[in-house]
A and B are shown apart, each in its own frame.
Chain A
Amino acid sequence: MIVKDIMAPFELYQPAQLKDAFSLLDSFGKDAWKMAGGYDSLDWFKDRIVRPQAVIDLTGIAEMKGIKETPDGVEIGALTTLSEIENNPIIKAKYRLLADAVSHVASPQIRNHGTIGGNASQNARCLYFRYGLPCYRAGGNTCFADTPEGINREHALFGADRCVAVTSSDGAPALTALDAKFVLQSSSGQRVIGAEEFFVGPNVDILHLTAAKPEEILTTIRLPSAWAGKNFYFEKVADRNVWDFPLVNVAAAISVQNGAIRESRIVVGGVSAVPHRLTQVEGIIQGKALEEGTATLAGQSSTRDARPLNYNGFKIPLMASLVTRAVRNATA
């Protein structure tokens, strides 16, 4: 229920080092809430849907900030703000796809404080879930969106399993297209997983959109050099150009050799709980000449397995158009 007053009280912790954050997470367990930029977190608190005992403000951890080049690509601290990424010369030169994508997030003020880690890890925007209803994603046993009366124009075309919510991140499809690796750290060590493992669908975990465990912190995102400087395309379609989450967005990274597509990664957001990678389409266009026919073929074949709900059928032609444009217009 929406209560418009100040938030319920919580204890705030501002660790300056990762190890302090881990010990806080270990001692508070389920009662802790990890907060980065805070724009999403504070909405949960204000609506009193999430009432953590302890909020751990990660923004003081210097080791999780900044962009640096490494021998095999670029490392982006999870606390790096979207504005910094958008304006970073290395990202703009080598991974323009990500700079493009994050420049479409929300509004300037939000980009100034929203972090790439928070953007990639943000929870579903399904209005029933955000309203605090006891749906599957909230630990309940029903879905309010996938019903005859449910308003589901923003919901999933692919991979729905009881829950039909989608990922609303603009950064996530771009990171997936760039084959980013996610570094998750906890007091017991670290693991590095690919985007396909980091983002999880409701069939695997109906309560979370990412594989990060409660005691883990997403500290770093690594972009491999394999996709640096390839042909990129990002486009987002939303109801408004500012603030709104994507209805559908597309991020494509295409490696071209002698006018033919050598390899590609095309990822669509807003159509599934995870960034929806078009593995089949990538296979179909591999080796084909980069021309109009290939682009049309990619678009047409992209929506083959779509299962629309009552009100989101419009996403099918929208997605097909975006994929066509991505293949047609991807440039270095």
Chain B
Amino acid sequence: MSDADSNKTEPGQPSLRTTRRSFIKGVIVSGVAVSAVGYVVYERTARRPAAGAVERLITLNVNGRDRRVDVAPHETLAYTIRNKLGLTGTKVSCDRAECGACTVMLDGVTSYSCSTLTQSVRNRKIVTIEGIAGPTGGLHKVQQAMIDELGPQCGFCTSGQVVSAVALLNRNPKPTQDEARRGMSGNLCKCGAYDHYLKAVMRASQEA
């Protein structure tokens, strides 16, 4: 049996191997556990923060759920939701608010989570790609439209594109082509599938 064969998984059979994704998530979970231990052990001896300084253990409202999480003052929202909350659907690409892969919604408006401090969004409702779903829990119409219009190619920008498109349609359910283009303009696609994404937004808006 060659090496190549051993990596094969029969189609239709559930794989018993650890997938890359679940492995990363495991790492994240254990990381959270370790950092929580640090919190319990060290926090008592640490000096009290000065007046106005932020607390580390905060509650974030993510995708409709309140989540307790330990957040450093200099932590970005993208880091927190990916590495502390395990919501890895949000991608980080440029880390400089210049590509849109990390787009999330804060109180319904889109934001680059890579360039937002987690501590500054404590009181806001955060919606990531994981929180976007259709009324029955399946795909959101934007997601379905993007599949139908062959929007994603490599797919790395897609979660950001979906969040931007959903936010746009929530605010303006029947955008013109120009409005849609403008609404989606904060998300880069390295594969250049802009027209596909745009068509998907227009298709989703017509389905409503």
Contact = CB atoms under 8 A, between A and B. Distances in A.
Nearest to A45: B74
Interface in A196-255: 241-243
B79 interface: yes
Interface residues of A, number: 34
Interface stretch (A102-110, A166-174, A269-277, A320-328): A102-110
B185 A6 contact: no
Given A14-B54, A109-B103, A43 B74 contact: no
B182 interface: yes
A223 B185 CA distance: 30
Contact of A46 (B50, B73, B75, B96): B96
Contacts of B197: none
Interface stretch (B11-19, B23-31, B116-124, B135-143): B116-124
B32 interface: no
B117 A112 contact: no
B73 A9 contact: yes
- Grouping DSSP codes into helix (H, G, I), strand (E, B) and loop, the A interface class, with mixed when no group exceeds half, is mixed
B89 interface: no
B119 A4 contact: no
A15 interface: yes
B97 interface: yes
B126 to A, nearest CB: 13
A13 B74 contact: no
Contacts of B106: 112-113
A108 B116 contact: no
Contacts of A42: 76, 97, 115-117
Interface string B23-52: 000000000000000000000000001111
Interface string A4-39: 101111111111000010001000000000000011
Closest 9 CB pairs of A and B: A107-B186, A12-B73, A109-B186, A112-B109, A108-B186, A242-B185, A7-B74, A13-B52, A109-B110
27 contacts: A4-B95, A6-B75, A7-B74, A9-B73, A10-B73, A10-B74, A12-B73, A14-B52, A38-B116, A38-B120, A39-B112, A39-B115, A42-B97, A42-B116, A45-B74, A46-B96, A59-B120, A107-B100, A108-B182, A108-B183, A108-B185, A109-B110, A109-B164, A109-B186, A113-B112, A113-B116, A242-B185
Interface of A: 4, 6-15, 20, 24, 38-39, 42-43, 45-46, 55, 57, 59-60, 83, 106-110, 112-113, 241-243
Interface of B: 49-54, 72-76, 79, 95-98, 100, 103, 106, 109-112, 115-117, 119-120, 164, 182-183, 185-186
